Each structure stands twice: as C-alpha cells, then as structure tokens.
C-alpha cells in the first residue's frame, strides 16, 4: 500500500504502474483483468463486471482486496466482457451495466472498445470513476461522445480529507475536479457523488459551492455517499485512527461518531 511519503503517492503514476499489470495487448484488443460478473440492486438493477486494480488506496473501499491487487482475476477481451454483460442483463431484465470494484478508466483502449461493443444493445453503460485520469481533456471528450452516463465519485470533500482517506497526494483531489469539469464542458451525461461520512455539514457545503462553480446541475444532482462499515473497512479505519461522523452498518443501520 503506497502510503510511505507524508506528501502521498502520485495517483497518475500509480495508474501507469497498475495498467502494466491489469492490461495486456492481444489480437482481440486490449485485455483487462476482472474477477467476477454479477447482478446488483443499485440503479434499480444493473449487471456488473468487477474489475481489478485502482489508482487510489481508499481506506473505506469495500473492494480493497481486489482494487489493491493487480494480479487477481483473469484477463478478458472487451468483446467477452460485453457479451457477458448483455447476457447477464437480459436474464434479469436490466437496462444498465457497469464496471465496478476498481478504476475502469485504467486501460483506456479496453474501456472505449467495451463501450463500442455494447453499442446497439440498448443498454446504458454507467461509468463509475474517480475521474483522475479524465483530467486528460481528450479522454473526457472521447467518453462524452459515447452512450455513457458518468458517476464521478469524489474521495472526500476537500484535498486534506482526500489525502487522509486515500494516502494519495492532495493534488489528486484537484485532478478529480478537473476531470469532472472536463466531462461537463465536453457535454457528457454526468453527476457527482462524494464520500461525506468524514466531513461536517459545513465542509460539504464548501464542496457544493465548488461544484456550483463548475455547473449548477452538479449541486442539483449531487449524491452523498456514506461509508459502509464492513469488518475489513472498520479495521483499516481503526488502524488509521479515523472515525466517521456518520456511517452505515452492513445491515443498513446508521452509526454516528464511533466505529
């Protein structure tokens, strides 16, 4: 876990390192590692491909084991993933699909080819991302041209919270906002969410003011996220000495001010 430096690791550089482990070239396009395919209740029902490897090391991540292990799972081509998504969604009557469990923008070629393979299926691809790599304007513009809705998950409400929760450099928080801004300016279908469990109401209001400067719709459609205290998440937070202001237990009950 790259948390050695007081300033934190560079998430863009970590993206490059992780990409060498979770992708590889093939005649069938860029392959990407996944560890499972499953139906999920979110968004009113969505078929999910859980990938491997992330450019952040969030203490609250439910999928930390796979997000931080770039050698888990096995390689699939974009076409293979698309076929499993289409079949899985059809069995359940779902109209939405997504990649979760990792950072799907790692492996740009794979992601764009996967979206192309889904074209004509009638399914909406929901891209859940921390948007750090979308600080590359060209990448954001490519996604804006596709039949995709982007959910940008901000890891905390300010640079300091971002650093403490992810271990990454504080500049990573600004890269997230830059990626979000690029998506909005490119005309993408997008909304923002943020983990608010570790922030006061005043800190959330400051974040909303920053989002309003990008576009008012980001405030209107803002999605607050609460950390779910799965046993592994609770243990990581406890070791880091971090207590959420408010959290969810795995059974859905609320917990305030303790872990």
pLDDT of residue 60: 95
Ramachandran class of 223: left when φ > 0, alpha when ψ lies in -120 to 50, beta otherwise: beta
Q: Quick one: pLDDT band at residue 1, thresholds 50, 70, 90?
A: very low
- Cα separation, 159 vs 173, whole angstroms: 5
Residues in contact with 17: Cβ distance below 8 Å, sequence separation at least 6, in sequence order: none
pLDDT number for residue 168: 98
User: Is the distance from CB of 167 to CB of 8 less than 8 angstroms?
Assistant: yes
CATH class, range 11-225: alpha beta
Predicted confidence (pLDDT) at residue 5 exceeds the cutoff of 90: no
Q: Please report how the helices 171-185 and 11-22 are oriented relative to each other, as an axis angle in degrees rounded to 10.
A: 70
Where would I find the H helices in the chain?
A: 11-22, 64-67, 78-92, 108-118, 137-144, 159-166, 171-185, 201-214, 216-220, 231-240
Residue 207 has pLDDT above 70, yes or no: yes
Please check the confidence at residue 3 and state whether its pLDDT lies above 80: no
- Taking 80 as the threshold, does the pLDDT of residue 104 lie above it? yes
Among residues 223, 222, 259, the alpha carbon closest in space to that of 243 is found at 259
79 near 31, Cβ under 8 Å?
no
Q: What percent of the chain has pLDDT over 90?
A: 95
Alpha-carbon distance values, 226 to 60, 110, 158, 182, 197 (Å): 10, 30, 16, 26, 5
CA–CA gap between residue 230 and residue 117 (Å, rounded): 35
Report whether pLDDT(113) > 80. Answer: yes
Q: How confident is the model at residue 257 (pLDDT cuts 50, 70, 90)?
A: confident
Q: 20-69, pLDDT tens digit by residue? A: 999 999 999 999 999 999 999 999 999 999 999 999 999 999 999 999 99
Residues 246-255, mean pLDDT to the nearest whole number: 92
Each residue's pLDDT tens digit, 159-198: 999 999 999 999 999 999 999 999 999 999 999 999 999 9
Q: Look at the block and give the residue holding tokens 């289409």.
A: 86
Could you tell me the pTM of the whole model?
Answer: 0.94
Are the CB atoms for 147 and 121 separated by under 8 Å?
Answer: no
Inter-CA distances, 22 with 11, 70, 74, 139, 205, Å: 16, 6, 9, 19, 37
Residue 184: per-residue pLDDT: 98
First to last CA, the chain: 22
What's the pLDDT score for residue 6? 80
For the chain, give the percent of residues with pLDDT over 70: 98
3-state secondary structure of 146: coil
């Amino acid at each position: 876990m790259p948390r050695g430096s007081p300033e934190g690791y560079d998430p863009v550089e970590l993206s490059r390192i992780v990409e060498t482990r979770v992708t590889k070239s093939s005649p069938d396009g860029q392959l990407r590692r996944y560890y499972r395919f499953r139906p999920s209740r979110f968004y009113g029902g969505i078929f999910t491909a859980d990938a491997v490897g992330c450019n952040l090391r969030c203490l609250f991540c439910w999928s930390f084991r796979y997000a931080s292990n770039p050698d888990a799972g096995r390689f699939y081509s974009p076409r293979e993933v698309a076929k499993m998504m289409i079949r899985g969604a059809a069995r359940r009557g779902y109209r939405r699909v997504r990649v979760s469990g990792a950072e799907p923008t790692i492996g740009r070629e794979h992601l764009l080819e996967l979206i192309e393979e889904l074209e004509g299926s009638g399914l909406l691809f929901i891209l859940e991302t921390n948007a750090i790599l979308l600080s590359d304007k060209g990448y954001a513009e490519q996604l804006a041209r596709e039949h995709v809705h982007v959910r940008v998950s901000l890891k905390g409400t300010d640079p300091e919270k971002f650093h403490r929760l992810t271990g990454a450099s504080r500049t990573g928080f600004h890269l997230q906002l830059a990626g979000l801004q690029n998506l909005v300016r490119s005309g993408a279908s997008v909304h923002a969410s943020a983990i608010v469990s570790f922030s006061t109401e005043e800190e959330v209001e400051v974040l909303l003011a920053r989002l309003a400067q990008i576009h008012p719709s980001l405030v209107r459609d803002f999605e607050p996220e609460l950390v779910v205290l799965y046993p592994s998440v609770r243990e990581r937070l406890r070791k880091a000495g971090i207590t959420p202001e408010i959290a969810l237990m795995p059974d859905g009950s609320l917990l305030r001010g303790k872990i």
